[in-house]
Chains A and B, each alone.
Chain A
Amino acid sequence: MTTLIDKIDRKKKYKKVAYYPGCALEGSAQPYDKSTRAVGKELGLELVEIKDWNCCGAMEVKNIDPEIQTYLSSRVLSDAQHKSKQDVVMAPCNGCYHNLKKAEYDLENKDKSRAVTEKISKKAGHETYKSGDVETIHALDWIKFGYGEEELKAKIKGGLKGLKVASYYGCMYTRPRHIFPEKDQGGDSESTSKPHYMDDLLAIAGAENVEFPLKTACCGGAHTLSDSDMSTKLVLNILEAAEAAGAEVIATECPTCHSGLEMHQIRALKRLSKNTNVKVVYFTQLLGMAMGLSPRKVGLHANISDSVGFMKQKGIT
């Protein structure tokens, strides 16, 4: 259970955090980076981008060598602690967030991970990261606890006007459960079977959450290019379920999930003649617009899924 003291504590702790954008936000997911920074600025939350960060290894490096994946993530944590002098890292990408959490778990529980991390850190010439030194949080935690939900209510200008939203969390935000010991703890902790942090924030921003059964379904992101037919099928399941639930928009909180939905929405139309109209939008873009930021400010034009006209029509922008 979180007490009031915890709440005040976290608010202080998350007000200024190390920022780990990761490769995707630097590349194809620039709108997510842009809207995250814009929302942070609007809320007075400070981001210190980790200097010289490296890729966490995504899902791919683990398949070549799991301990190297742990090392890569541990280097990010080490830099956050020793170079950026922060004890909290915020990652908006589920892949990055997951890997930093997984590194934390592996360094705590697996001798080999610890040994390899130490060996390579020494050779690479930086401090070896020790589990427990830095707390990893997602952009959702950052806004929910760093700014506060009550406070957020006062920040909404115009709002989302009852926009029907399906919040989609994907796989890596909640699975596997054992790397997220803080979840499923009752009180206001996140649930791994029915996550709700994004739903909660968007409801405050004036959206209507639809009953969406595929919140944590997999979009096949790992094989988005290597087994595209499978990914298209899995994405189509998600898009169709969202539409069946009455959603006009799918809100995302991960660049890989987001681009997977966008890409395979197009591919489903081209290859399977299956047309879906639901828009794919980052939750930070929705929050930003609800607070009165312009679509340009949150990078809405740069999404592949075109929702600019739709938002205007809804009176949201």
Chain B
Amino acid sequence: MAIHEKSLIRPENITTHDNLIIDGIDVSGDWSTFIRTRVVSDYNEDLEEEIAAMPGGEYIHRCWQCGSCTNSCTVNAENPDFNPRYWIYLIRMGMEDELLRDKDIIWQCVSCNKCTSACPRDVEPEGVMKATAHWMELKGHTPPSNSTIFDDIFTEQVIKYGRIEDGEVLKDFMKKSGQPLMQDWIVQMVKQMIKGLPVMSLMKMGWATIFHPKTKNWAKARDAINEHIAEEHAAQKKALGLESVE
């Protein structure tokens, strides 16, 4: 079986002597490859609890490091540095600095739930990935990822209207994430979409972006949801030792 996680040994922790003779035997190059001894002393003892306080992170303590999540992971197959098992290990050990090295890729989890289906301990690793990505943002280690920006726009629309309108989500997202709307592939897509459509449904689509689809009698649900989310966010910030600014 291939060594799946060889990439975890970082190049700077490996030493190789180009010219080394020990007891008259030439051990230059690969023959003298060693992994450097390391002493970790800057543990963040609260890390696991902090992640567990974020939505999705609740079951992280159940992990027994079997590696099924990483082995089944969609993103890991494209990028071996994306390693849920390893991050869960670092969090449980309190190795915050190590975790932060991967701060720019953790948000890339595509929520395919292969890990959650494979996990024998009901850790729900997909949730842990989301919890960790949000923790990074709340702590100020990373700016909000595109994924978070999208979640926010989408959720705002649902709460406000009860329903979403996909064209409007697309437009808002492109604006807030600083991407041009008129990209070659989007233009091509819209062209192909319009081509087959009868005038009636084109008009219908146009109206939908102006008169946003709404759920009737939604106002009370909207207010109750907003209230609940505000309470939850305040509780999360408190658990992370952050002052609530709202």
Interface residues, chain A, CB within 8 Å of chain B?
A: 23-24, 26-28, 30, 52-55, 57-68, 71-72, 75, 116, 119-120, 123-125, 171-172, 174-178, 192, 217-218, 220-223, 225-227, 230-231, 233-234, 262-263, 266-267, 270-271, 300-306, 308
Contacts and interface: CB of A to CB of B under 8 A. Distances in A.
Contacts, number: 185
A54 B224 contact: no
Interface stretch (B16-24, B30-38, B39-47, B108-116): B108-116
A66 B165 contact: no
B151 A262 contact: no
Contacts of B130: 62-63
A124 B222 CA distance: 8
B120 to A, nearest CB: 12
B158 A66 contact: no
Interface in B143-189: 145-152, 154-155, 158, 162-167, 170, 173-174, 177, 184-185, 188-189
B196 interface: yes
B6 interface: no
A270 B152 CA distance: 29
A303 B116 contact: no
B218 interface: yes
A68 B56 contact: no
Given A58-B154, A175-B114, A176-B116, A226 B177 contact: yes
Given A27-B166, A120-B225, 13 more contacts: A27-B165, A52-B215, A55-B163, A58-B164, A68-B228, A120-B221, A177-B117, A222-B147, A225-B174, A226-B149, A270-B185, A270-B188, A308-B196
Nearest to B184: A270
B210 to A, nearest CB: 14
17 contacts: A52-B216, A52-B217, A54-B163, A57-B155, A60-B150, A63-B56, A64-B151, A176-B126, A178-B117, A178-B122, A223-B146, A225-B146, A226-B145, A226-B146, A227-B108, A267-B185, A301-B196
B173 A223 contact: no
Contacts of A75: 221
B162 A54 contact: yes
Contacts of A221: 110
A23 B164 contact: yes
Chain A at the B interface: SS class:
helix
A26 B229 contact: no
Contact of B166 (A28, A119, A230): A28
Contacts of A60: 150-151, 154-155, 158
B242 interface: no
A66 B151 CA distance: 12
Contact of A23 (B126, B189, B201, B213): B213
Contacts of A54: 158, 162-163, 215, 218, 221
Given A23-B213, A120-B221, A65 B55 contact: yes
B74 A217 contact: yes
B117 A192 contact: yes
Contact of A65 (B164, B217, B218, B228): B228
Given A52-B216, A54-B221, A266 B201 contact: no
Contacts of B197: 301-302
B192 interface: yes
A9 to B, nearest CB: 29
A120 B231 CA distance: 13
